[in-house]
Amino acid sequence: MGVKKGKQMKYTENSEQSDRILPQSTELEEAILSAVLIETTAFEVASNILSPDMFYDNVNRIIFEACAELESENKPIDLLAVVEQLRRVGKLEEAGGITHITQILQKVVSSAHLEYHCRIVAQKYIARKAIEYMSDAIGKCFNETIDIEDAISEVSRNIEKLQETAAGRMETKQLRDIMRKSVAEMYERMDKYGKGIQSGINTGIADLNRITGGWQKSNLVIISGRPSMGKTAVALHFAKSAAKKGTPVVIFELEMTDVKLSDRLLLSESDVPPNDYKVGKNSIEEAKEIEIAVGKLYNYKIYIDSNSTVTMEYIKSKCRLLKKQGKCEMVIIDYLQLIEDSGNKNSIREQEVAKMSRKAKLLAKELDIPVLLLAQLSRKVEDRTVKKPMLSDLRESGAIEQDADMVIFIYRDEYYNPNAEKGRGNLIIAKYRDGYTGEIDFAYNESMTKIFDYDKFNLAKNAPAPKNYYEKNNIPF
């Protein structure tokens, strides 16, 4: 009886009217099936990498499905068991019959290469799906009735699915192999510590550096506060401090223009009064001071995207590109509630924010960089006698709190209390997966264009320095 093979699909490139066979290797698929039918541990290896739909040939797919069904029922996998399983579900003839399955047994190669062969088959599946998604996108681009941004967003979501497929099935490792990396990274941190080098990216605030070791790779840091608390000012201080040490920083500024952001950075490096600068009242000497600030910031690797209507898909694709170019080792997004959702327009806002928060965490993990995500606090703070924020004050807070590795609230008591100390603020670490929670003091000038270490700022004014974070919170450092 002749074997009914899977359909040989072809991709037609319209511009050249040429046919191309989709990426596939039925020979490797059969070699994998042969190993699975002969060796008792082979299916475990193969199923950690492959799923039935990854097989290009329909016959091979059906046979692998039968193996998976046997495995789920804790039954042995061999030639007779697979034949019986196929007969039971009525797919024996569709799988080529007993003769074809017996022939597959002759295709076996060294089992030592089984994992490698499985990875090749998986890669070819991902390549086929990418072609499918891209071809669909091309068709939609020719359709003038379809919104082009929706088409691009769909491509991004589909490619993201493929990346998750690749990561989910190919990155599972045994603990002993992961521990080697843990120990190697431990010795690397010890070496840096011995040389006086912190492990993470400079935050620009000494107490925060001591607690965190700097911004750490793959961490999502939520920086939140009520309006006028200074979120952008503090975030720019973090960006400038990181760039000063040579770290490329990408800022997505959704609230103000790139020139306004540049103005703030220039004012942070000068003593020019912001109001005079805005209205053009500053003197020639002050103008020269701004030019000197330009010189200080000129070589800082800070990249600003001030597109006011961006999605997380846009941010992720832009960061991937900049990362490949060596221009993205830290990301700041200002701010979460201004990011547009590219998905279901009828979804609840809390669900939209949850998706974007999760995508920000995935971005940090995928690119192995810290992502600082600014977020608004709800008005609940204003209704309380004590105005210091809590985790429950985060707007649409549930998912944000869950996804974040660290949550920092910015609080300035003088905003609410006219008798409070001027120029003193708090960074409230409300959540920190890898360390202590508590409060850190920082100082700022009247216009909040400059951020300082509180101790240094007050010592410079000959004022008594407060107890530091560790003494206040009984931390054994």
Contact 86, 14 (CB under 8 A): no
Give the per-residue pLDDT at 435.
86
Residues of the chain with pLDDT under 70: 1-19, 108-112, 164-174, 341-347, 349, 395-398, 456-477
Angle between helices 97-104 and 79-88 (to 10 degrees): 150
Q: What is the pLDDT of residue 114?
A: 87
Beta-bridged to residue 453, according to DSSP, are 442
Kindly state the tokens that stand for 180: 């080697």
Question: Which class does domain 10-170 fall in?
Answer: mainly alpha
> Is-above-0.85 flag for pTM?
no
Give the residue among 269, 254, 454 at the shortest CA–CA distance from 356: 254
Q: Which two tokens stand for residue 347?
A: 């979804």
CATH class of 203-472: alpha beta
Contact 245, 202 (CB under 8 A): yes
Are 208 and 410 in contact, with CB atoms under 8 Å apart?
no
Catalytic residue among 255, 286, 350, 401: 255
Distance CA 39, CA 28 (A): 16
Contact by Cβ (8 Å): 351, 359: no
From 211, 219, 265, select the one nearest 243 (Cα to Cα).
Answer: 265
Q: What is the pLDDT of residue 297?
A: 92
Alpha-carbon span 2 to 9, nearest angstrom: 20
- Between the alpha carbon of residue 225 and those of residues 48, 312, 335, 410, 416, the distances in Å are 44, 22, 11, 5, 13
Please tell me if the domain spanning 10-170 has the same topology as the one spanning 203-472.
no
Compute the distance between CA of residue 76 and CA of residue 97 in angstroms, rounded to an integer: 20
Give the pLDDT score at 427: 94
| Strand spans (E) along 335-379 | 371-376
Check if the beta carbon of residue 394 is closer than 8 Å to that of residue 207.
no
Q: Are strands 424-432 and 406-411 parallel, antiparallel or unpaired?
A: antiparallel
CA–CA separation, 398 vs 400, rounded Å?
Answer: 6
Kindly give, in sequence order, each residue whose CB lies less than 8 Å from that of residue 172, ignoring residues fewer than 6 positions away: 48
Domain ranges within the chain, ordered by starting residue: 10-170, 203-472
Angle, CA of 61, 65 and 67, to the nearest 5°: 120
255 tagged catalytic: yes
Q: Which residue type occupies 386?
A: V
**What is the identity of the amino acid at 471?**
E
Residues 317 and 307: their CA atoms lie apart, in Å, by 14
